[in-house]
A and B are shown apart, each in its own frame.
Chain A
Amino acid sequence: MGLLNLLFPERRTSAVIARERLKIVLAHERASRDAPDFLPVLQRELLDVIGRYVEIRGDMIRVNVGKSGDTSLLEINVELDGAKVTPTKNGAAEDGKGVAKIDPGAATPWVKPS
């Protein structure tokens, strides 16, 4: 079979394209389907809190629930690359105390992706 495949590689017919597109979209949708309902709310609230200290957009934070062996994992990734400290508001101290210090050069995420 291997030799046959080598001699006659699969044509990229529209059916082959359909199969590949389906596999990708369904892998994605299955992962989010099993996620608990609270994830979007958690993500929004985290965005709110972090946004008090650092200017951050919605697409810079990702919350996922997964499994690693027997351990359930809540994985929160916040991308702060190039993020600016939010101008002082009530809640954040004038002198910068309690405000997250961002090293603009640091590209390492706060939580390492597994």
Chain B
Amino acid sequence: MAGKVVVLTSGKGGVGKTTSAAAIAAGLALRGHRTVVIDFDVGLRNLDLIMGCERRVVFDFINVINGDAKLNQALIKDKRSDNLYIFPTSQTRDKDALKRDGVERVLNELKESFDYIVCDSPAGIEHGAITALYFADSAVIVTNPEVSSVRDSDRIIGILASKSRRAEFNLEPVAVHLLLSRYSPERVRKGEMLTVEDVKEILSIPLLGVIPESESVLKASNTGTPVVFDEESPAGRAYHDAVARFLGEQRELRFLQPERRSFFRALFGRA
């Protein structure tokens, strides 16, 4: 088996990288692919909370890189899916603990037993973020329809094209995909938010999906459940669509129109 390395990156913080990494990893696992999701945000561990396994962390990424723990001691098996594993990072070390050769060794070991290795990148363009994207085979650029996020995404796309391992060794370029998150059809309709076409045209990379702004995302993080497990949630369903497209399926975009509130819902004030 030769697993694929998928990095979720954005440049800007707070756009939904960890939420998306958790959702996409869980979505891949639900479709039968053996998947591990790794937290690259050394010092600011959060993937464990979003995945709901924060009390089960014993060893971490840095322990494995330094040879203080074996890979299977640090991997946490997800309780909801047999195909899903979480690889937490260190909360106490600093980001310089991510040595490139150590990371490469661990990724190569993971590639032997997983189909997909989903890397949750830290924000910024410093060492941790560069290390997270360096080994990528494909990249999901998480972008919000907002000027600073779009600009930072453009910068990250440029870095992927010039500083990744694939660029350095003149291999086939990293496959980049746009994931537009926190999209509000209502605000787009009012002309208060960039449209999906605007962002697509400006960044000119293929669109993987549009995740609507949704209350279910906060609920999911409150309970430590990736949002794809919420069948009712528009965001959850949009992530499922994105995963299907990532695997090569053709799917229509959904949730781009403002939701019509039914008479009943309007009456009882439930969203």
Contact = CB atoms under 8 A, between A and B. Distances in A.
B202 A15 contact: no
Contacts of B188: 15
A19 interface: yes
Contacts of B193: 15
A22 interface: yes
Interface residues of A, number: 15
Interface stretch (B3-11, B150-158, B249-257): B150-158
B151 A25 contact: yes
B2 interface: no
B75 to A, nearest CB: 38
A13 B202 contact: no
Contacts of B202: 19, 22-23, 26
A11 interface: yes
A19 B203 CA distance: 11
A16 interface: yes
Contacts of B155: 29, 33
Contact of A13 (B151, B158, B191): B191
B126 interface: no
A26 B151 contact: yes
B158 A15 contact: no
A11 B151 contact: no
A30 B147 CA distance: 16
Nearest to A11: B191
A15 B198 contact: yes
A22 B158 contact: no
A112 interface: no
B147 A18 contact: yes
Contacts of A21: 147
Contacts of B198: 15, 18-19
Interface in B145-176: 146-147, 150-151, 154-155, 158
B147 A22 contact: yes
B121 interface: no
Nearest to A14: B192
Interface in A10-43: 11, 13-16, 18-19, 21-23, 25-26, 29-30, 33
Nearest to A19: B198
A30 B158 contact: yes
Contacts of A29: 151, 154-155
Given A14-B192, A15-B192, A26 B147 contact: no
B154 A14 contact: no
Contacts of A22: 147, 150-151, 194, 202
B147 A33 contact: no
B107 to A, nearest CB: 28
Contact of A33 (B150, B158, B192): B158
Contacts of B192: 13-15
Contact of A15 (B151, B154, B191): B191
Contacts of A23: 202
A35 B57 CA distance: 45
B233 to A, nearest CB: 26
A60 B203 CA distance: 33
Contacts of A18: 146-147, 194, 198
Interface of A: 11, 13-16, 18-19, 21-23, 25-26, 29-30, 33
18 contacts: A11-B191, A13-B191, A13-B192, A14-B192, A15-B188, A15-B193, A16-B191, A19-B194, A21-B147, A22-B147, A22-B150, A22-B151, A22-B202, A26-B150, A26-B151, A29-B154, A29-B155, A33-B155
What are the 5 A-B residue pairs with the smallest beta carbon separation, nearest first?
A13-B191, A19-B198, A15-B191, A33-B158, A18-B147
